[in-house]
């Protein structure tokens, strides 16, 4: 099988979608001639031209609002927010307009709009450019939210998002852009709302996403040498959330660890913990545990940044503590 990077998979997904449907257009800051600040859109301007690949002013509220207008008048826009940290600048458009437009119109309009943004820590961008945004958005009905954690999913989830007739937020992890993995010769679409079991196990279930999902797999490898069998679930989709895959795993392992690249308060892990307490309480042999960033901001200093984001060592120790309960 060929190797591809996470970055290349996103570029390919955009190009394939634009070749397949002339209604797909792309715009955002520096996505055209420059090829994107993270070099995710190179070659698209040259292939599809200035009408379909457009640079925008540095005004997130304006071009996200323009994306809504494009979506309800017949196009299938993909709007790139350079950093997910800038989502709050456009939050009124996203949560009060985009998320609600189909409902408020009584179904007269659909909103086939995809918003892409790079999120996450680990690249030394400092506290204003290193946050994960899924927990900010999960509280808003009307939005679908995906967080690809593998190269194949970076392609497959984006292709599905662009073809969806409802707004989808695709949050790409910036540290993963250089991740290279083997992929099938023909990359499939990936359905929204379906989690993936990345590693089967019998002793503990870990639920995680993106970078910390990859680190959870590292921890699971280390723990296997100690005789501890860990099942790792990659959520992939935050809304809709695949509750059944989580509960099916708990039926086997009876212990749950949630690993988040997010602060503890209001983090998406609390939703998973509530699911376990509600529908899975009789499956649990120990309290649910969470490994996350506590109450810390992401530091600019690399050692401090590394200390805040859950790593394989912290994850492995949390699993050991859980097994000992």
Given this model, what pLDDT does residue 8 score?
97
* CA end-to-end span of the chain: 43
User: How far apart are alpha carbons 251 and 247 in whole angstroms?
Assistant: 6
Cβ-Cβ contacts under 8 Å for 225 (sequence gap 6 or more) = none
Please tell me whether residues 224 and 276 are part of one structural domain: yes
Given this model, what pLDDT does residue 92 score?
95
Given this model, what pLDDT does residue 325 score?
79
Please tell me whether residues 166 and 219 are part of one structural domain: no
User: How far apart are alpha carbons 97 and 90 in whole angstroms?
Assistant: 10
Cβ 304 vs Cβ 297: under 8 Å? no
Given this model, what pLDDT does residue 181 score?
94
Please tell me whether residues 114 and 142 are part of one structural domain: yes
129 is annotated as an active-site residue: yes
> Of these residues, 8, 29, 60, 172, which one is catalytic?
60
Please tell me whether residues 174 and 207 are part of one structural domain: no
Q: Is residue 190 part of a domain?
A: no
Given this model, what pLDDT does residue 162 score?
98
Please tell me whether residues 143 and 216 are part of one structural domain: no
Please tell me whether residues 12 and 42 are part of one structural domain: yes
Q: What is the CATH number of the domain that holds 82?
A: 3.40.50.970
Cβ 233 vs Cβ 246: under 8 Å? yes
Per-residue pLDDT of the chain (325 residues; tens, 9 = 90+): 789 999 999 999 999 999 999 999 999 999 999 999 999 999 999 999 999 999 999 999 999 999 999 999 999 999 999 999 999 999 999 999 999 999 999 999 999 999 999 999 998 999 999 999 999 999 999 999 999 999 999 999 999 999 999 999 999 999 999 999 999 999 999 999 999 999 999 999 999 999 999 999 999 999 999 999 999 999 999 999 999 999 999 999 999 999 999 999 999 999 999 999 999 999 999 999 999 999 999 999 999 999 999 999 999 999 999 999 7
> Of these residues, 29, 129, 134, 164, which one is catalytic?
129
Q: Is residue 187 part of a domain?
A: no
Residue 227 corresponds to which tokens in the numbers above?
Answer: 């005789």
Given this model, what pLDDT does residue 1 score?
74
Please tell me whether residues 23 and 164 are part of one structural domain: yes
User: How far apart are alpha carbons 205 and 322 in whole angstroms?
Assistant: 10
- Residue 307's domain comprises 196-324
Nearest Cα neighbor of 195 from 260, 146, 123, 267 is 146
Q: Is residue 189 part of a domain?
A: no
Given this model, what pLDDT does residue 314 score?
97
> Among 160, 182, 204, which residue terminates a domain?
182
Nearest Cα neighbor of 169 from 194, 223, 133, 220 is 133
Q: How many domains does the chain have?
A: 2
Q: Is residue 40 part of a domain?
A: yes
* In the block, residue with structure tokens 């989709």: 237
Q: Is residue 188 part of a domain?
A: no
> Among 149, 182, 215, which residue terminates a domain?
182
60 is annotated as an active-site residue: yes
Strands (E), the chain: 3-5, 24-28, 53-55, 76-83, 114-119, 144-146, 168-173, 180-182, 196-199, 204-208, 230-234, 237-239, 256-259, 289-291
Cβ 231 vs Cβ 170: under 8 Å? no
Please tell me whether residues 18 and 155 are part of one structural domain: yes
Q: Is residue 191 part of a domain?
A: no
Please tell me whether residues 172 and 221 are part of one structural domain: no
Please tell me whether residues 200 and 257 are part of one structural domain: yes
> Among 134, 159, 182, which residue terminates a domain?
182
Q: Is residue 29 part of a domain?
A: yes
Residue 179 corresponds to which tokens in the numbers above?
Answer: 């991740």
Q: Is residue 115 part of a domain?
A: yes
Please tell me whether residues 172 and 209 are part of one structural domain: no
The string of DSSP letters for 229-248 reads -EEEEE--EEETT-HHHHHH
Edge-to-edge strand ranges of the sheet holding 144-146? 53-55, 24-28, 76-83, 114-119, 168-173, 144-146, 237-239
Please tell me whether residues 291 and 143 are part of one structural domain: no
Q: What is the CATH number of the domain that holds 256?
A: 3.40.50.920
Given this model, what pLDDT does residue 110 score?
96
């Amino acid at each position: 099988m060929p190797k591809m990077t996470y970055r290349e998979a996103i570029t390919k997904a955009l190009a394939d979608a634009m070749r397949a449907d002339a209604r797909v257009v792309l715009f955002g800051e520096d996505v055209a001639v420059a090829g994107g600040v993270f070099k995710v859109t190179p070659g698209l301007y040259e292939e599809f031209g200035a009408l379909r690949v457009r640079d925008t002013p540095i005004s997130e509220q304006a071009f996200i609002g323009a994306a809504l207008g494009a979506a309800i008048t017949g196009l299938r826009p993909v709007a790139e927010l350079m950093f997910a940290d800038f989502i709050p600048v456009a939050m009124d458009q996203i949560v009060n307009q985009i998320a609600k437009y189909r409902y408020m119109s009584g179904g007269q309009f659909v909103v086939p709009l995809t918003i892409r943004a790079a999120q996450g820590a680990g690249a030394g961008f400092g506290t204003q450019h290193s946050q994960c945004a899924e927990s900010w958005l999960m509280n808003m009905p009307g939005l679908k939210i995906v967080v690809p954690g593998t190269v194949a999913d970076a392609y497959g989830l984006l292709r599905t998002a662009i073809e969806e007739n409802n707004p989808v937020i695709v949050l790409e992890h910036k540290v993963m852009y250089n991740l290279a993995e083997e992929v099938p010769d023909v990359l499939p679409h990936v359905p929204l709302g379906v989690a993936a079991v990345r590693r089967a196990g019998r002793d503990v279930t870990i639920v995680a996403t993106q970078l910390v999902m990859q680190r959870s797999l590292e921890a699971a490898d280390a723990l296997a040498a100690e005789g501890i069998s860990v099942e790792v679930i990659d959520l992939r989709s935050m809304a809709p959330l695949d509750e059944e895959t989580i509960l099916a795993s708990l039926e086997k392992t009876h212990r749950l660890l949630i690993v988040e690249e997010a602060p503890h308060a209001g983090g998406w892990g609390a939703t998973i913990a509530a699911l376990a307490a509600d529908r899975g309480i009789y499956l649990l042999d120990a309290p649910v545990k969470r490994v996350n960033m506590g109450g810390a901001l992401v530091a600019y200093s690399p050692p401090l940044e590394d200390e805040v984001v859950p790593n394989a060592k912290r994850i492995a120790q949390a699993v050991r503590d859980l097994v000992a309960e």
